[in-house]
Amino acid sequence: MSKTRLVVFSDDWGRHPSSCQHLIRNLLGDYEVYWVNSIGTRRPGLDWYSVRRGFAKLRSWMVTGVSSSVKAPGEPTVLQPLMWPSYRSRLGRQFNCWSLDKAVRLQLCQPGNAIGVTTLPIVADLVGRLPVDSWVYYCVDDLSRWPGLDKVSLELMERELVERVDEVIAVSDYLVRRMKSLGRSSHLLTHGVDPEFWLEPRGEAPAFLQGLAHPLVVFWGVIDQRLDVEWLKALNGLLKTGTVVLVGPENNPPREIRDLGRVYMSGALGLEALPWVAAMANVLIMPYAISPATRAMQPLKLKEYLATGKPVVSSCIPAVEEWRDACDVESSPEAFAAKVVHRTRSGTPSEQAEARRRLDSESWSTKAETFKRLVGDCGEGV
């Protein structure tokens, strides 16, 4: 019997360690996976991020070929169809639907079961068109709230998508409620974590860590407008020694961050380097502003931070409520800065370490088994 095929539409495979990529990696043994690198959630502009992203996509199309597929050992088959970078116009939307449909059909030419999975509303036009048996919307964020994304197009296409798919799986209570407001019930499947990965650094530590003044206060993730510069200013002013290290790609972050003398921005690092960053850190932080975007978010890094055993200090975004007993949650820049400085000396309190034992039941392999059950397929086709 052949394996059921999963056709997954999401962010570029291997570019950033997203929740969907973690989940799918744990399903590669059960399904034949086709991963479709998709764009079009942002409105193209003349900002530096858009220019870099555009050149990166053009380079990938030139290197691998338009609509070609790439299959590395132990990886999904990755498709990179040519796409117009916006869904605002009817012509652009029609072209992307045609291009995605064509690229996937080339892979599904043999008979067999197939399931379409998407984290992106932009594939709404493909539901009922592609030769798959069922569709799953894996809702990982309220993309209409993200800074820099095309809110109008995403909201419109998400409404269309949730009406058409067979199942909706959401990663947070907030998103479950959001799906309900759109008229759909959904299953809750929170993010996972692999604790052993975060406790066992491999390879060599990133060289930049050796030259930084200690203690190290570390954030990793996308550095953008969701960070609250006032919280970073308070921390920068209260630290008498040490470095605030921001690790990750930059997407139009607040300009004032660069003026903070104790802040070091390393740029993006591969996932394999982050356990070293955690091992060298004294405190891990999430200084997010309280905004519609952060009230909706469910950051992967929260469980990753907790798995490292290091002290964790966060602003009071809704995502941390379930883990409030396992970290420090503050409501003002001054209290945040004071708690970070305190934790550089005290380490993780025993009661927080005990609360983190709940992570043992939060592995990505466990989440993958739940996902298989929710989509109503055990991985074997006929």
Cβ(262)–Cβ(242) below 8 Å: yes
Q: Out of 46-50, 61-65, 96-100, 377-381, which region has the weakest mean confidence (pLDDT)?
A: 377-381
Question: Mean pLDDT, the chain, as a whole number?
Answer: 89
pTM of the predicted model as reported, rounded to 2 decimal places: 0.88
Cα(91)–Cα(372) distance, integer angstroms: 36
* Digit-coded pLDDT (tens) for 152-187: 888 999 999 999 999 999 999 999 999 999 999 999
Q: For 319-378, give the DSSP string.
A: GGGGGGGGSEEESSHHHHHHHHHHHHHH-S-HHHHHHGGGGGG--HHHHHHHHHHHTT--
Question: Buried (b) or exposed (e) across 81-112, using 16+ Cβ within 10 A?
Answer: bebbbbbeeeebbeebbebbbebbeebeeeee
Cβ(124)–Cβ(40) below 8 Å: no
* Digit-coded pLDDT (tens) for 268-326: 999 999 999 999 999 999 999 999 889 889 999 999 999 999 999 999 999 999 999 99
Of residues 42 and 127, more confidence is placed in 127
pLDDT of residue 380: 46
pLDDT of residue 382: 34
15 contact partners, CB below 8 Å, separation of at least 6: none
Domains observed in the chain:
5-192+363-374 (3.40.50.11010), 195-360 (3.40.50.2000)
* Digit-coded pLDDT (tens) for 212-229: 999 999 999 999 999 999
Cα(269)–Cα(167) distance, integer angstroms: 34
Cβ(42)–Cβ(85) below 8 Å: yes
Whether 368 shows a pLDDT value over 50: the answer reads yes
Cα(344)–Cα(240) distance, integer angstroms: 12
Local confidence band at 359 (pLDDT 50, 70, 90 cut-offs): very high
Whether 69 shows a pLDDT value over 80: the answer reads no
**Span 56-63, average pLDDT:** 51
pLDDT of residue 48: 53
Local confidence band at 378 (pLDDT 50, 70, 90 cut-offs): very low
**Span 348-360, average pLDDT:** 97
